[in-house]
Amino acid sequence: MKDRPLTSANLIPSLEPKMRDLLERHRERTAKVDWAYHEFLPLKELRANPDFLPKLSPTVYLAVETALFTEVNLPWFTSGLTQIFKGSLAPMQEFIHDWTSEEDQHGLLLETYLLLGDNGDHGERSRLRKQIVRVGWEPHIEDHFQAIAYTAMQELATQVFYLRVAHFCQDEDPLLARALRRIARDEVLHMAFYRDAVKAHLEVEPDYVEPLVKIMLEFAMPGAGMKDYATRSAILARQGVYGPDHYFNLVVDKLWKEWDVPALMPKAETARAAQRKIIAQHEKLGRIAARYAVRAAPGTREKDAARVALQQQEDMLSVAED
Ligand SMILES: [Fe+2]
Ligand SMILES: [Fe+2]
């Protein structure tokens, strides 16, 4: 009998209790760290001294603006995910509501911070922002499972990006670094929900490795549609804020280990072929990331640079979840 590729990997109904547990865990965690965006704005200090906030360097401004331009498409992310999960498991649909209310604060905090610090050209930012929201976001996602795999990767990439920018601007503007770390904490809780939902599905249905591979191979950030995204990314990578080595070590490889992709035992031949393909690709990406880490830290041996990057991963991720 000929194996046919999966065409629709839906969320698995028997996993509804597990999804409910993940939602409840998420709610417990967010209740513990509940926050409001105004708490991260130095309003009292600014009343006493309107120049209280430092002017941001071009790199930090670019990073914050890029993050903001991604967050502003929230209406489209919500509408896209709502459509994808229509008729799916109830905890998943409820999570989208919680998630939207949490994400809503991110763009608000970033925009207000830039305004109060009088950073950047407010008119130009507003014009670009409007353009980006008008273009919107169209998910190239074919089923429920691809959606949770994509969002797991996206949330982790976003968390790592925020933590990298926070690290980068710590001396320049410690209050901004604090705000970015706060947002990163939201992102890691989102990631944990999706990551564990993906893991539960792979355990029940290892053939889901096939849609997982599709997402991992084609992954692009939701902000990738903004006009000058490639230039922004190249500058931020060159400045050491967030580059291919961070993406591989702190995002792809982290989830790779959590999902234990090489150990999955898919039954369908197409799924086994997809697994073989991603294992080869993962090794290749690892080599590219190690070479990139060496270029970013001249004088370091490949092994050392890779080890340092891994250490960063441990340090950064241990602070954020729970
Ligand atoms: Fe966010
Ligand atoms: Fe998020």
131 C-alpha vs ligand 1 centroid, how far in Å?
19
Domain count for the chain: 1
> Is 135 contained in some domain?
yes
> Is 253 contained in some domain?
no
> Is 320 contained in some domain?
no
pLDDT for the residue 5: 46
Distances (CA, A) of 300 to 58, 74, 163, 167, 261: 28, 40, 23, 21, 30
Q: Which ligand is nearest to the CA of 193?
A: 2
Rounded CA separation 216/285 (Å): 12
3-state SS track over 199-219: HHHHHHCHHHHHHHHHHHHHC
Among the ranges given (1-10, 14-23, 37-46, 145-154), the one the predictor scored with the smallest mean pLDDT? 1-10
> Is 194 contained in some domain?
yes
> Is 178 contained in some domain?
yes
pLDDT for the residue 8: 79
pLDDT for the residue 307: 62
CA angle 148, 290, 212 (to 5 degrees): 20
Amino acid at the residue 120: G
186 C-alpha vs ligand 2 centroid, how far in Å?
6
pLDDT for the residue 1: 34
pLDDT for the residue 299: 63
- The structure tokens 């865990």 sit at 25
Q: Which ligand is nearest to the CA of 71?
A: 1
Q: Which ligand is nearest to the CA of 162?
A: 1
pLDDT in tens, 224-271: 888 899 999 999 999 999 999 999 999 999 999 999 999 999 999 999
pLDDT for the residue 4: 40
> Is 7 contained in some domain?
no
Handedness of CA 310, 318, 262, 158 (dihedral sign): negative
pTM here is: 0.91
Which range of residues forms the domain containing residue 84?
A: 14-243
Q: CB burial class (10 A; 0-12, 13-18, 19+) of residue 258?
A: middle
pLDDT for the residue 126: 97
Q: Mean pLDDT for the chain?
A: 91
> Is 136 contained in some domain?
yes
CB–CB of 155/191 below 8 Å?
yes
pLDDT in tens, 137-165: 988 888 999 999 999 999 999 999 999 99
pLDDT in tens, 284-297: 999 888 887 777 66
> Is 270 contained in some domain?
no
pLDDT for the residue 317: 53
The model's confidence at residue 298, banded by pLDDT at 50, 70 and 90, is low
Q: Which ligand is nearest to the CA of 187?
A: 2
274 C-alpha vs ligand 2 centroid, how far in Å?
28
Mean pLDDT of 108-131: 97
pLDDT > 90: percent of the chain: 80
Q: 66: domain CATH number?
A: 1.10.620.20
pLDDT in tens, 39-94: 999 999 999 999 999 999 999 999 999 999 999 999 999 999 999 999 899 999 99
pLDDT in tens, 172-191: 999 999 999 999 999 999 99
CB neighbour list of residue 201: distance below 8 Å, 6 or more residues apart? 9, 11, 12, 15, 145, 148, 208
Distances (CA, A) of 156 to 35, 69, 90, 302, 308: 20, 17, 24, 25, 19
209 C-alpha vs ligand 1 centroid, how far in Å?
27
Contacts 24+ apart (CB under 8 A), 223-227: 223/66, 223/69, 223/70, 223/73, 225/132, 225/135, 225/137, 226/66, 226/69, 226/70, 226/128, 226/132, 226/135, 227/128, 227/131
Q: Which ligand is nearest to the CA of 190?
A: 2
